[in-house]
Amino acid sequence: MILSVLFHNHVLQIIFTAILWILATVEAQGNVSVGDSLSANDKNLAWQSPSGDFAFGFHYISGEKDKFLLAIWYAKIPERTVVWFANRDNPVIGRESKVELAASGHLVLTDPSGKELWRSPSFTGDSEVSHAAMLDTGNFVIVSRNLTNIWESFKYPTDTILPEQELGVGGYLLSTLAETGSGKGKYQLRFSNGSFVLNQIDVFTGKPYEDYFDFGNGSRFVFNKSGHIQIPNSNGSLVEVAPINAVPKPDLNYYRATLDFYGVFTLYSYPRNPSGGGSWSVLWFRPRNICRRFVDIMATSGRATFGTNPCGYNSICEPINGRPNCTCPPGFSFLDDNNQYAGCKQDYASYPGDCNPDGSTTGEDRFEFKEMSFADFPFSDYGVLQPATELECRQSCLLDCSCAVAILQDPTLSQDGTGTCWKKKLPLSNGLFDRDGVDRTALFKVLKSDASRTKPARSNRSDENRNQVILILGVLLGTSAVFNFFSLAAIALIFFCLFRRRFHDITSVRSRRNLETNVQFFTYKDLEHATNGFKEEIGRGAFGTVYKGELPSGFEDHVAVKKLDKFIQDGEREFKTEVKVIGQTHHKNLVRLIGYCDEAEHRLLVYEFMENGSLSSFLFGVLRPSWQQRLHIASGIAKGLTYLHEECSKQIIHCDIKPQNILLDESFTAKISDFGLAKLLMNNKTRTQTGIRGTKGYVAPEWFRNTPVSVKVDVYSFGVMLLEIICCRRCVEVEMEEAAILTEWAFQCYSEGMIEKLVEHDEEAANDVGKLEMLLKVAIWCVQEVPMLRPSMRTVTMMLEGAVQVPNPPCPFLLDTV
């Protein structure tokens, strides 16, 4: 009996609570009437849209005690994403702050003392207000009695626009200053001189700098209901700003486009019904490389200066999925440890006494150089030495009090064979990693570590840390074994926890970017979509078929998707390993791998798309390419192979060098493709089981013999191809009778001193006998049947550049085979 009463009470209580809750919710979701108000104190109360997608209310600024913004956010997304702020520069302080729909038709925000902080402006003068409402589009409106909008938040965007919102001639977005918070930043999207552009502003006056990105001409910037961004042109037709396939599933996602605090305009989506936790994913963004953007404009226009990239001064910027990743160079550390975008400062402060009156440094022996590959600070040098050797470059920067870093172009690797030394002083601006700059090294002038103790200028925080470590070690070494055992156990535990957390962090990031390599993972569906169902075939090779595709995200407009049709069984791990190796290669003469797919039985690779197709169609096509172009191509291929053989983290033997595997970009720079794949298709490293890799005519003779296969097989194939590049003909042409086999014919012409025969009807080449003979000699060295006699690709590169003399080659053929 007692139990039953208790039970009843309990049930009643639940029902009562539920009714209260329903009432509260109804109130929150209905129209807002004149006199209704919200207070910052009601933590969970907000005015919601009918579907509950959006909420209007007080947004608590995390980390800031009792500071609030009047804002609109996604109510169903757990991670708070604010799309609009009323008082972005002027947060209210205090839980008694309140917003009210006043009878005058204005929303009025007041602080706890009743002071007015913000009030919605009115379009229509003093029309009589009926109500206000949070709409399902994310627009908050105040409606008059005749049902026109007195005010709407869509007309006053902050840094984000939503589907069904548009910017007109006077509308603009202004980024926030930092990742969190709402403060006004320095990037703007606005209408200027007939088009919608991105520009930086002078934060002190708000005045715009020259724009750094143009979305296109037109006077409206429309984000339509299905998530497409468009600009209507003068005749009214819509021009898509983002590629049409950037937006995958209109109804299943939320979309927003935000001008991010680092100056990139990004289209994001979030699944409406996430299974197992959702996250915002990037669909498209512009500019593609914010780190390079200002430098690129300066390079093409030669006029504008834009300050530095979003990483700030003395920093190095590298975009990851459009977003800059900022790092400090050697000898520098973050100005603000909690904000990588604030720039870096040198670890030691220089004294006025450091420099002599003539500009030389007073204590050059205190400094040393730390090298960093690929780092560069374009357009900010104050002195250039050319030609310069490495020694001259180091000396010059070391002795020069102003010099903070020197960029050295290695003479043996540069195009024209001369070295250059660019000297830069502080602050360093527009720092970036230029992965194509393989011939350059940045030399950072840093204080020697032992010099630091004599110079008090160095911050003494790190010394403190070191002292602590020494202290801990001292304690460990100086106490009993039992204590040591427990200490070690404790340390092991801490490491274990740290590692676990790290592991957890990594797995919980739902990023599709492979953290280690910058190579993106795609699902088979993504690629099916990108290639329009594998419709446009652009090539077919030993490894599979290549299709043209278009990625929705902002990386590249066009890509080449290679569908591998053969690969070793249970090679999943092998595939990943190889993709990683390929993904780590960066060279201007290699085709870049953008991503991959390994889903069930599918193995696909996504490469950058090459405008000018393969070398084979270029070389054996109708128009003979110019001699100079061919020279440039030959030396490019040699550099690419040198890199594969000697300079990347793991040696890569191509095994199938031939003109079909050399692609040409829009400026006819040669890029090697299909490298790193040979391993994938081999069952084993012993040749007996492999069969012969490569293509007839280009294959080195040791494949057929019992000698080990080495990088020299690529040298051989390169030699054959070099002959083809010289002669613009294929290595085997049966109808040419005694000249059918190119290697034999070329050596014959060479030994008989009739090399002009090789370039009949090619005046340009015939007039350049010196170069022609040099190339021919290099080629004959490369096709030596004895692998040991063939030069390395590095030597070949140097020979082609004229850096070393080419000796006369011996007969390439072994007697028993001729």
Ligand X SMILES: *[C@@H]1O[C@H](CO)[C@@H](O)[C@H](O)[C@H]1NC(C)=O
Residues belonging to the active site = 656
Task: Identify the residue among 41, 87, 149, 195 touching ligand X (CB under 6 A).
Answer: 195
Cβ atoms of residues 765 and 772 within 8 Å: yes
CB half-sphere exposure, 84, CA atoms < 13 A = 21
- Type of residue found at 471: L
Which residues in 50-69 contact ligand X (CB under 6 A)?
Answer: none
Say if CB 654 and CB 672 are below 8 A apart. yes
**Environment class of residue 254 by beta-carbon count within 10 Å: exposed (0-12), middle (13-18) or buried (19+)?**
buried
State yes or no: residue 235 binds ligand X (CB under 6 A): yes
Q: Which x/- pattern, by CB under 6 A, does the window 104-143 give for ligand X?
A: --------------------x--x--xx------------
Residue 32 bridge partners (DSSP): 132
**Eight-class DSSP state of 817:** G
CB nearer to ligand X: give 146 or 300. 146
Omega before 787 cis (within 30°)?
Answer: no
Contact pick of 214, 381, 390, 744 for ligand X (by CB under 6 A): 214
User: Given the complex with ligand X, which of 233 and 626 has the nearer CB atom?
Assistant: 233
Under the criterion CB under 6 A, does residue 31 sit at the interface with ligand X?
Answer: yes
Nearest distance, CB of residue 622 and ligand X, angstroms: 32
Among 193, 649, 684, 817, binds ligand X (CB under 6 A): 193
Nearer to ligand X, 150 or 591 (CB): 150
CB 176 within 8 A of CB 183: yes
User: Does residue 320 interact with ligand X by CB under 6 A?
Assistant: yes
Q: Which is nearer to ligand X, 252 or 491 (by Cβ)?
A: 252
Instruction: Say whether residue 460 binds ligand X (CB under 6 A).
Output: yes
Helix, strand, or coil here: 10? Answer: helix
We find the least distance from the C-beta atom of residue 32 to ligand X, in angstroms, to be 9
Decide whether 260 or 762 has the Cβ nearer to ligand X: 260
Contacts of 529 (CB under 8 A, 6+ apart): 245, 248, 552
Q: Which stretch binds ligand X (CB under 6 A): 93-101, 455-463, 564-572, 682-690?
A: 455-463
When the beta carbons of 307 and 456 are compared against ligand X, the nearer one is 456
Total interface residues for ligand X by CB under 6 A: 30
Q: How far is CA 486 from CA 27, 84, 88, 473, 617, in A?
A: 60, 54, 53, 14, 70
Q: Are 737 and 724 in contact (CB under 8 A)?
A: no
Give the phi and the psi of residue 704 in degrees, each rounded to 5. Answer: -90, -10
| Residue 456 within binding range of ligand X, rule CB under 6 A | yes
Tell whether residue 243 is a contact of ligand X (CB under 6 A).
no
**Residue (356 or 468) nearer to ligand X, CB:** 468
Give the shortest CB-458-to-ligand X separation in angstroms. Answer: 7
Which of 216, 232, 248, 387 is in the footprint of ligand X by CB under 6 A?
Answer: 216
Q: Which of 39, 41, 325, 690 binds ligand X (CB under 6 A)?
A: 325
Question: Does 553 contact ligand X by CB under 6 A?
Answer: no
Q: How far is the CB of 790 from ligand X (least distance, A)?
A: 37
| Residue 233 binds ligand X, judged by CB under 6 A | yes
The residue among 116 and 463 lying less far from ligand X, judged by its C-beta, is: 463
Q: Does 459 bind ligand X (CB under 6 A)?
A: yes
d(CA 25, CA 21): 6
- Name every residue whose Cβ is closer than 8 Å to that of residue 323 and which is 6 or more positions away in sequence: 260, 262, 264
Token digits of residue 324: 């800059």
Evaluate whether 588 touches 436 at the Cβ level (below 8 Å).
yes
Residue 4 found at the interface with ligand X (CB under 6 A): no
226 near ligand X, rule: CB under 6 A: yes
Q: CB-hemisphere CA count at 13 Å for 162? A: 24
From the CB of 139, what's the least distance to ligand X, in Å?
14
Per-residue 3-state assignment (H helix, E strand, C coil) for 528-564:
HHHCCCCCCEEEECCCEEEEEECCCCCCCCCEEEEEE
Task: Confirm if 434 and 296 have CB atoms less than 8 A apart.
Answer: no
Determine contact, residues 769/737, Cβ cutoff 8 Å.
no
Q: By CB under 6 A, is residue 584 in contact with ligand X?
A: no
Q: Which residues bind ligand X (CB under 6 A)?
A: 30-31, 124, 127, 130-131, 144, 146, 148, 193-195, 214, 216-217, 224-226, 228, 233, 235, 237-238, 244, 320, 325, 327, 456, 459-460
